Amino acid sequence: MKRLLLAALLTLSTPVMAVQPDEVLDDQVLETRARDISKGLRCPVCQNENIDDSNSAISRELRLLVRDRLIEGDTNEEVVDFIVARYGEYVLLEPTKDGFNMILWVAPLGMLILALGAGFATVRRKGTASSDALTDAEKARLEEIMKS
Amino acid sequence: MITELGHFALILGFGIAIIQMVIPMIGAQKGWRNWMAVADPAATSQLILVGFSFAALTYAFVTSDFSLKLVTMNSHSDKPMLYKVSGVWGNHEGSMLLWLLILTLFGACASWFGGNLPDTLKARVLAVQSTISVAFYAFIIFTSNPFLRLQVPPFNGQDLNPLLQDPGLAFHPPFLYLGYVGLSMAFSFAVAALIEGRVDAAWARWVRPWTLAAWIFLTIGIGLGSWWAYYELGWGGFWFWDPVENASFMPWLLAAALLHSAIVTEKRESLKSWTILLSILAFGFSLLGTFLVRSGVITSVHAFANDPERGVFILAILFVFVGGALTLFSFRAGSLEAKGVFSLVSRESALVLNNILLAVSAFVVFVGTLWPLVAEMTTGRTLSVGAPFFNAAFTPFFVALAVILPPGAVLAWKRGSVAKAMKPMWAVLILAVALGGLAFAVQTGNSAMGPIGVILGAWVVFGAMMDLWQRAGNASVADRLRRIRNLPRADWGKFTAHSGLGITMFAIATLMAWQQEDIRTLNVGESFTIDKWELTLDAVDRVEGPNFLSQMGTFTVKENGEFLTTLHPEKRFYQVAAMPTTEAGIRNGVFEDIYVVIGDPQDDGGWAVRTYIKPFANWIWAGSLLMALGGAISLSDRRLRVAAGGAKSKAKANMVAAE
């Protein structure tokens, strides 16, 4: 009885595993493309998992959907657009580079340039301060000493 | 009864913290010794009281006292003892109590080991530290009380989240918190110095050991978390750029920057205001991390809106402390005049570049983590920022860091020459590129990531060795080796930590580039081959654990036809929490891990089986461990042993007084 219960528990309640053997396409090239696309799509019900790694049922459906579209002859972009049209921008793990999002993509480089500029300015200031050249007052005093 | 005593001790500690926050600060201002002296016994008694409070909560968990709401929600009488104890901090309330315990521990340590600090500085440091404590006492007592009782205790508890029932994760939070909270010391020192209006080499020497200790703990904590993800989540990922991970990674990056800038402040009395600013920001990011994780704002804005009390409280703490410190900074930064001067090409400049790269990379993580929130609040778009963004935007900074590290680490102080620094490094560079070329030749496919990882790793590791070799000066090999052995611990720490960084970078790049994967259906008795290994599924058994049921596969692994090992991947089901988990079967090897996961039974009678070959996986954590070890070696250096330098300066001060 216990065994039966256990068997029931294990089969009924466990969600399916990420990428099942029966999902894998025979066509190696298409399968590789499917895996690439899956890694960039977010599982809609999980915490920060892509559908390729996720165990959830909806991720399995999305993986199958991606493969169906690929078999239909869609390009990678078309497949992604197809899914975004149905599930929203939320599923894109790599945010788009349009409009407001441009700030996000430009921020790292912008910040680096700013920081480098500030750093360079600081270092330069230290550099001039460290110059061994004499100040005008010192030069005058030196001349005085040399003359006497 | 013990529970109520724990609760009472916590409230008593709150009272003492308020006294320690006010009295020594006034004493330091007025120069009243007896008022300043209040700080020491107060700091020690806070630790004792919070320690007792924590022990009382632990006792409730260990004895499965289900009259406590927290125990009922997070424990179960069948749970193994280790997880009963780790259950104390496996929940919000308990983890905040742990946070407070560590905060008071650091406060007490500052009191015990700060004997050589000037009296006023010490009093102010302890007062500021206690101010942070006060905020967290209030947070716990008013919003997250762990000592609440249930009117009707149930017969048993609801168990801890099964994913957390794991040795790796049991010790992950304490280490992480030691790191997070350890940065509070740097913060307290910075604020105290700003109030004091004095930052000098001695100050930097006092701050560095605390920052170093915090950074070591953060390194270990992050390493443990990533190792746990690797073996527990079932596909061998080790870093996901999850907001919760990022929350701990940002303080780590800033602490690393702070360690390096404090060196410049200590040795050259330069970059003072930047070091102070970093001290404030590093702890600010610890608080931000706590806010992100504890308020649930990142999982969903709605989760935050539904229960905003705690989130708003931490946000207020964050604003008061960071805002207050930054305001103080803006008033006082101008008075921190720098003494040391240096030219454009110098060790100081190299460390400035190191700080720029680390700080900007932390900023990238910050922007990426908060962007979904910003986008939703400003444009209403719900979007995600995931691994692809971080991989693209963050990686270049660490590549640049690795490129400049070896020559930067040997540049002369004050005024250096790139040609001179590069002279010993050309050989290292040639070796690294040769190894990269070799990797490119033997790998299958044309990926650049693996070879680049090899080049960078070799460049950093062999560069660190060359640095040590150069330090020994010109002499016979035997003499050099003897001199290297006698180099100060700080040099050995630098070598070890930098090597660790190189090894981790190498391992991450090669693992990502050269991983192999196999997915198939397998019947019991069947075999398959992946690379040079043959795996046979011998059996699938049902096994009963203490609080779970398991479906356990038995695999025989042969390497080139010879028996290598037996693996037992499991699929577990925790009945009480009604949650399944996967336990991968992993053969840890020096050059690669064999990683097997068993899945569901298939319709045709077989089992779904996923197998990975993960090259150099263990090197990721070996490298992290080396980084932490390097920090520990450096921490044990005479120069940083607080008493060593202090005793001398005290003696000197006495002599001056005597004259």
Report whether pLDDT(B337) > 80.
Answer: no
Which pLDDT belongs to residue B644? 38
d(CA B416, CA B56): 58
Nearest to B413, CA basis, from B467, B354, B349: B349
CA distances from B115 to B108, B589, B643 (A): 12, 48, 8
Q: For an interface test with B, which of A26, A93, A98, A128 has the most B Cβ atoms less than 10 Å from its Cβ?
A: A93
Contacts of B359 in chain A (CB under 8 A): 115
A17 part of contact set with chain B, CB < 8 Å? yes
Which pLDDT belongs to residue B658? 39
Strand partners, B563: B558
d(CA B608, CA B279): 51
Which pLDDT belongs to residue B650? 42
Q: Do A50 and B386 touch (CB under 8 A)?
A: yes
For B184, residues 6+ apart whose C-beta sits below 8 A from its C-beta are B103, B106, B129, B132, B283, B286
Given strand B592-601, what is the order of strands in its sheet?
B516-522, B607-615, B592-601, B585-587
Q: Which CATH code, of 1.10.1370.30, 3.20.80.10, 3.40.50.1370, 1.10.8.640, is assigned to A2-91?
A: 1.10.8.640
The residue type found at B382 is T
Nearest CB to A21; choose among B356, B520, B573: B520
Q: Do B573 and A10 touch (CB under 8 A)?
A: yes
Tokens for A11?
Answer: 């089969």
Contact A48, B243 (CB under 8 A): yes
Residue B13 burial class via C-beta count within 10 angstroms: exposed 0-12, middle 13-18, buried 19 and up: buried
pLDDT tier at B656 (50, 70, 90 boundaries)? very low
Q: Do A16 and B382 touch (CB under 8 A)?
A: no
For B384, residues 6+ apart whose C-beta sits below 8 A from its C-beta are A42, A48, A89, A90, A91, A92, A93, A95, B372
Question: At CA A120, angle to CA A119 and CA A126, rounded to 5?
Answer: 95
Q: Do B241 and A94 touch (CB under 8 A)?
A: no
Q: Domain extents for chain B?
A: 1-165, 171-181+196-303+331-406, 407-515+622-626, 516-618
Contact B39, B127 (CB under 8 A): yes
Q: Domain extents for chain A?
A: 2-91, 101-147
pLDDT tier at A12 (50, 70, 90 boundaries)? very low
A57 part of contact set with chain B, CB < 8 Å? no
Contact B247, B274 (CB under 8 A): no
Residue of A nearest to B270 (CA): A126
Report whether pLDDT(B138) > 50.
Answer: yes
Which pLDDT belongs to residue B640? 59
Residue of B nearest to A89 (CA): B383
**Residues of A (60-79) whose Cβ lies below 8 Å from B:** none
Residue of B nearest to A32 (CA): B517
The residue type found at B96 is M
Q: Do B389 and A129 touch (CB under 8 A)?
A: no
Which pLDDT belongs to residue B471? 84
Which pLDDT belongs to residue B390? 94
d(CA B32, CA B46): 22
pLDDT tier at A142 (50, 70, 90 boundaries)? confident
B200: number of Cβ within 10 Å: 14
d(CA B619, CA B215): 20
Nearest CB to A92; choose among B371, B384, B414: B384
pLDDT digits (tens, 9 = 90+) for B509-542: 999 999 998 888 899 989 999 988 999 999 999 9
Sign of CA dihedral B185, B187, B192, B197: positive
Q: What's the average model confidence in pLDDT over B463-474?
A: 88
Distance from CA of B352 to the nearest CA of A (A): 7
**Residue in the structure block whose two tokens are 């800033």:** B254
CA distances from B36 to B48, B125, B197, B212 (A): 20, 11, 18, 27
Q: Following DSSP, what letter does each residue of B119-188 receive, concatenated?
A: HHHHHHHHHHHHHHHHHHHHHHHHH--TTPBPSS--SS-----GGG-SHHHHSHHHHHHHHHHHHHHHHH
d(CA A25, CA A13): 27
Nearest CB to B580; choose among A14, A20, A101: A14
Q: What's the average model confidence in pLDDT over B157-163?
A: 78
Nearest to B583, CA basis, from B167, B221, B223, B159: B167
ipTM: 0.83
Residue of A nearest to B606 (CA): A21
**Residue in the structure block whose two tokens are 């399916």:** A16
Q: Do B234 and A17 touch (CB under 8 A)?
A: yes
pLDDT tier at A5 (50, 70, 90 boundaries)? very low
Q: What is the DSSP letter of A91?
A: G
**Percent of chain B beyond pLDDT 70?**
95
Helices and strands per DSSP (H, E), number in chain B: 24, 10
Report whether pLDDT(A23) > 60.
Answer: yes
Report whether pLDDT(B310) > 50.
Answer: yes
Nearest CB to A115; choose among B360, B597, B601: B360
d(CA B359, CA B250): 9
**Percent of chain B beyond pLDDT 90?**
53
Q: Do A123 and B344 touch (CB under 8 A)?
A: yes
- Of B94-98, B291-295, B596-600, which gets the smallest average pLDDT? B291-295
Residue B514 burial class via C-beta count within 10 angstroms: exposed 0-12, middle 13-18, buried 19 and up: buried
pLDDT tier at B657 (50, 70, 90 boundaries)? very low
Residue of B nearest to A128 (CA): B343
A92 part of contact set with chain B, CB < 8 Å? yes
Q: What's the average model confidence in pLDDT over B586-591?
A: 91
d(CA B420, CA B410): 9
